[in-house]
Chain A
């Protein structure tokens, strides 16, 4: 049996982070959780992730700053980043894309929009 792929779930609010991680684990991945971009960057150094699902509004380092920081580092060139937020304004989607995010989920994260995003990114068949 091959080792499960690892996904980082990043959100400062436990009530969003925990259910997101549960959904992702149910789809056959390992998960780790971070409460903001700074913690996320530390975890990226330690573990090998295929993707990060990140909130936008977080303290200290928000989702946009996180994407910008990750995309500056060539070591993470293949890391997929999905922005998850309730801010469904088009300018946020455009900003996330221009910074190098690979996908976008409008919260709440459900099995449906998660599976759709993962299929789009070829994380699921």
Chain B
């Protein structure tokens, strides 16, 4: 393989790393890093570092080593995925892109390497295990097992396992990691996604394994070969039986769910929507899912959902996929599908198009434009014929 081809590979890898960094930046606000993003960022940083290593370009290799080491700590729950880290990662990608194009800024590369080194030193100094928050659909049975384990004082852990998306069902269901977790003294409660729901748009995806144990993360991680972190798990309970309660056919005030983590937008949206129905307001992805399920169980599903794309803990697009899945399981996709409007501060066509594909009815770009808002509302209000 020629150096030229390797440079193309490096540029591709840097592009992938940049995309996932931008995605992480959108989704992670105060304390809301998405562990799957961290795992994938680590993977690309690792590959890019290896690629520069093969070309024996030590200065770039060292820069990526610093970033990779921080991500390695982060995926093990030993460091926070701060804005500073994501920003530094983006700067690194920028510098390396320029390097690959022949614009070598040695001074900046060395300075950024030192920045990673000092981040690493201070994270080792505090050394505190970070807890993560996570959420995915859980069967009633698994929810029961989780509750029972927690009652006995077990802690909950998440293991994020990278998988090849072309894996067969048989291999997927018998991965060696399952036996390793059990022999390490932890109990597997549930996994996500099921084989049929693996996102095959990339060649690798993350399998989330929720487990419980009275042991500490350190005790377990001696026997498993993937990072395991303590997690606050918010279950999304998938009801196996269709909900018997029928949604009321009586005219009622429209029910609206507002999902927005940023205070100003939240207040503004609530103010604008208040005259049009009864509003519930939540601040992150897992809460949105819980609220959505509770409304269905109350027999009064939401007519409209305003869902921010950038959200802590679970990003808006993933939340939307879960919402649609919950509706489908209950037959609500036909009887009473919620109208969902994605909101975003970025005029980001890639994200918005993605949201349309995953089934939302419209989008609003922040700051909200009154005219656009009225237009969308007219389209999705329940008393409208279309």
A contact residues vs B (CB 8 Å cutoff): 12-16, 18-19, 22, 35-38, 57-62, 64-65, 68-69, 86-87, 95, 107-109
Contacts and interface: CB of A to CB of B under 8 A. Distances in A.
* Most chain B CB atoms below 10 A, which of A14, A16, A59, A95: A59
B46 interface: yes
B176 A65 contact: yes
B231 to A, nearest CB: 21
Contacts of B204: 12, 59
A64 B225 contact: yes
Looking at chain B's contact residues, the main secondary structure is helix
Given A60-B163, A60-B164, A15 B6 contact: yes
Given A15-B6, A65-B180, A57 B53 contact: no
A36 B107 CA distance: 38
Contacts of B1: 15, 18-19, 22
A86 B50 contact: yes
A57 B43 contact: yes
A15 B48 CA distance: 10
Nearest to B6: A15
Contact of B47 (A13, A36, A59): A13
A36 B177 CA distance: 14
B50 A108 contact: yes
Nearest to A38: B171
Contact of A65 (B49, B53, B171, B177): B177
B294 to A, nearest CB: 36
A59 B50 contact: no
Contacts of A68: 176, 180
A15 B164 contact: no
A22 B5 CA distance: 15
B175 interface: yes
A44 to B, nearest CB: 15
B180 A59 contact: no
Contacts of A15: 1, 6, 9, 47, 50-51, 54
